Amino acid sequence: MKTVNLTFDDGESRRLDVFVADAAEVTRSYAATLITDGYVTVNGKESTKNTKLKNGDVIGITIPDAKEYTVKPENIPLDIVYEDAALLVVNKPKDMVVHPAAGNYSGTLVNAVLYHCGDSLSGINGVMRPGILHRIDKNTSGLLLIAKNDNAHLVLAEQIKEHSLTREYEAIVYGNLKNDSGTVNAPIGRHPVKRKQMAIVAGGKEAVTHYTVLERLNGFTHVRLRLETGRTHQIRVHMASLGHAVAGDDVYGPHRVITKLGGQCLHARKIGFIHPESREYMEFTSDLPEYFTRFLNECRG
């Protein structure tokens, strides 16, 4: 069981359940359950989910110990790019969550992979993330690598740690990038106030992103991005730090977000690795999805 005390200083008043959901990185419904069950206090007193917070309020949030859930296999179609006895490369669609979390235990990529693979998955990451080596955000589409046994998991995880795994993305970002290529080398950690967000912070984890301009558009730029590291929200935070947030990003982008994209215009297009058994280098690419190409053509027009 973990308890944190946070001081509200966001300026405008916010509902308690909204604040708790953001601060604890849980769904709104789970935040409401925590409040109802007495795990949340405002200035030392229990409150309702509708309580309006004011600057200076101290919110105490206790997260009860996690229960051991059994993640159920679900017959959800998978776009499988490659599969053998050691691993699986899947093309994840936009809007699909990768692994289950509090208040969200079905409809995820893990549920689909469990149905497809049965018991042949690495168990290193536990019941919530079997075989999952890395993740991409719900609203990011593209390629994911999944280990089907523990040896494959260890070998591939070491490649991620050594930065030898190839991971390339494509994105459409706001504005016209000054340089045709460049590198952002800035540490990323949890935002000091907005706990659901990441930020460039002193003492954060090393984060390096290389970018190349593919096409300059009307008010936007189409870019290729290569990750050296794989921090949470790395591309989104780094591009926003340049003043060129990913189009459609409702967290790190401008206040007037492009809602028709349904999230950031970001696609994990290429992944490459040394196969854990054959020791041969393998590389896979994914075509840009329809939502991406449609917006790209609109920007050209």
pLDDT tens-place string over residues 250-295? 999 998 999 999 999 999 999 999 999 999 999 999 999 999 999 9
Q: Which residue has the higher pLDDT, 129 or 85?
A: 85
Please tell me whether residues 199 and 269 are part of one structural domain: yes
Please tell me whether residues 181 and 273 are part of one structural domain: yes
Please tell me whether residues 10 and 99 are part of one structural domain: no
d(CA 225, CA 247): 14
Please tell me whether residues 91 and 200 are part of one structural domain: no
Q: How confident is the model at residue 172 (pLDDT cuts 50, 70, 90)?
A: very high
Instruction: For the chain, count helices (H), then strands (E).
Output: 6, 17
Task: State which of 16, 43, 63 marks the end of a domain.
Answer: 63
Residue 211, beta-bridge partner list: 182, 225
Q: For residue 5, how many other CB atoms are within 10 A of its CB?
A: 10
Q: How confident is the model at residue 164 (pLDDT cuts 50, 70, 90)?
A: very high
Least confident of 12-21, 46-55, 89-98: 12-21
Please tell me whether residues 221 and 254 are part of one structural domain: yes
Q: What does the radius of gyration of the chain's CA atoms come to, in whole angstroms?
A: 20
Task: Answer yes or no: is pLDDT of 69 > 80.
Answer: no
Please tell me whether residues 167 and 265 are part of one structural domain: yes
Task: State which of 143, 162, 181 marks the end of a domain.
Answer: 162
Please tell me whether residues 175 and 147 are part of one structural domain: no
Please tell me whether residues 156 and 252 are part of one structural domain: no
Q: What is the pLDDT of residue 93?
A: 96
Query: Element (H or E) spanning 239, and its range?
Result: helix 234-241
Q: Can you give the CATH number for the domain in which 37 is found? A: 3.10.290.10
d(CA 296, CA 269): 15
Please tell me whether residues 201 and 300 are part of one structural domain: yes
| Mean pLDDT, rounded, for 145-165 | 93
- Looking at the 3D structure of the chain, how many domains does it have? 3
Q: Can you give the CATH number for the domain in which 131 is found? A: 3.30.2350.10
Q: How confident is the model over 183-226, as pLDDT tens digits?
A: 999 999 989 888 789 999 999 999 999 999 999 999 999 999 99
pTM of the model: 0.77
d(CA 90, CA 85): 14
| Mean pLDDT, rounded, for 145-173 | 94
Please tell me whether residues 150 and 104 are part of one structural domain: yes
HSE toward the beta carbon, residue 201, CA cutoff 13 A: 15
Please tell me whether residues 85 and 141 are part of one structural domain: yes
Q: Over pLDDT 90: what percentage of the chain? A: 74
Task: State which of 63, 91, 109 marks the end of a domain.
Answer: 63
Identify whether 10 is a catalytic site residue. Answer: no
d(CA 145, CA 229): 16
Question: Phi and psi of 112, rounded to 5°?
Answer: -70, -40
Mean pLDDT of the chain: 92
Q: What is the pLDDT of residue 253?
A: 95
Please tell me whether residues 191 and 280 are part of one structural domain: yes
Provide the residue range defining the domain that includes 251.
163-301
b (16+ CB within 10 A) / e for 157-195 = bebbeeeebbbbbbbbbbeebeeeeeebebbbbebeeeb
Q: How confident is the model over 102-113, as pLDDT tens digits?
A: 667 889 999 999
Q: What is the pLDDT of residue 210?
A: 98
- Strand residue runs (E) in 38-193: 40-42, 45-46, 52-53, 58-63, 80-83, 87-92, 141-147, 166-174, 181-185, 188-190
d(CA 62, CA 72): 27
Of the residues 137, 150, 180, 249, only one is catalytic, namely 137
